[in-house]
Amino acid sequence: MPLPVVILHGWSDSEVSFRPLAEFLRSAGRSVMPIYLGNYVTLEDSLTIQDLAKAFVRALADAGIPTSNHSFDLVVHSTGTLVAREWLTRYYLEPGLPCPVAHFLMLAPANFGSPLAHKGRTMFGRLVKGWKSGFETGTQILKALEMASPYSWSLAERDLFGTRSYYKPDECMVAVLVGNQPYREWPQSMVNERGSDGTVYVASANLNANRITITLGRKTDRPLVDRARPAFAPVAFAVIGGRDHTDITRPAPGEPLGDMMLRFLALESDASYRTYSEDCARITGATLPPEPLRDLPDEAHRYQNVVVKVRDDLGFSVPDYFLEFYESSPRSNEVMARVQREVLEKVHPYNDDESYRSLIFDLTDLDRVLADGTRLLFSVSAASVGSLVEYSAGKRNDVGALEVPVNGDALRFWRPNETMLTEVIIERVQKPKVFRVRPYRR
């Protein structure tokens, strides 16, 4: 028997946009069970993702929707994913309660941010989106949605890399479906970014992520790399060709998108979920070829979102730093120049704390740059705090280098269509005159 379905929209949207999706589900057999459309405020500057998650608790109770184990299926779009993850993690994961959601379907989710979020906080954003809401655009929500936000990092620490996660087939089946087609029509096309569906990057939509900590400094003979052990199981992830951020929510009978939605909501066993995940991987491989073929359009390239957070060994954020990727035995600066020019598509420092940065890499172009087996190194240089404190690994402003990709499948750095959370810890060094202890002599 199908379960009730709850559908949540994204930022600056409403339930009206999801009536076609509800009709599609109803016509496909969900008419025997109720379909609920969530409607929540997103353009109020004081509201946070946490506020929305808490309000969702009461909204479910008011609608008479039970929250016992596997009570309903949840379909979310864009920002609705963060609301749902916050709700599930805050109110059901930590107390160890059973998971209320049986099937968790994420459509173009903003799991690790959106390149449009910081634009919504500008005056232009207020004029475009805020004219119906007293020129408010949901400042706190947009801060959480911004690329490299501390919020998305901390949420991942809780539900992906914490002590427990619900994202396992026997507890909560999860699937991510996202398009690779930027907006075709003006004015939406003005905001397109390579590697995105017009609003979210394919890589930042994927819930599958990795987290590493790199420790650099004089205290270590060589850089230390520690990979966090994920608490979640790899989730089904498919990139549906030709769909943008909006029409990923508008399936039609007989089309691959609609078939993948309905098939996922009907999964009942771990074995069927594994088969579904394998099929998702095949779809993604067909949409984004793993080989660096010639003349691929930009939307067929594979990208990676690398989120870097730099702090020192005393725990202070380091906002003023420079990242370099260069050849291990340079004959010239050609490789470094090509990485900067062809591979590194976008760097976005988080507005409120520039120690957090998102770097979007075109891995299709990276394969071409490194086709001859060139080894790539990664290093960080940080500006001194002042005349008495600097960052050092033996010489001024140099904090060491690390070869990437790290050898071995389990430790590899480059991961197509995913996010890599990379914490870099550097050594904070005080000059000798900061503190002296001298023998007392009469």
Burial of 405 (0-12, 13-18, 19+ CB in 10 A): middle
Q: How far apart are the first and last CA of the chain?
A: 91
pTM attached to this predicted model:
0.93
pLDDT at 142: 96
Lowest-pLDDT choice from 164-173, 198-207, 369-378, 386-395: 386-395
Domains of the chain: 5-208+230-287 (3.40.50.1820), 298-433 (2.60.40)
pLDDT at 130 over 60: no
pLDDT at 236 over 50: yes
Q: Give the percent of the chain with pLDDT over 90.
A: 71
In the predicted model, what is the mean pLDDT of the chain? Answer: 89
* DSSP codes of every residue in 169-232: TTT-EEEEEEE-----STTGGGG--TTBSSSSBHHHH-S-EEEEEEE-STTSSS-EEEEPPPSS
Rg of the chain, C-alpha, whole Å: 23
Question: Which helix (DSSP H) or strand (DSSP E) does residue 263 occupy?
Answer: helix 256-265
Residues in CB range of 341: below 8 A, 6 or more apart: none
- Between 1 and 145, the more confident residue is 145
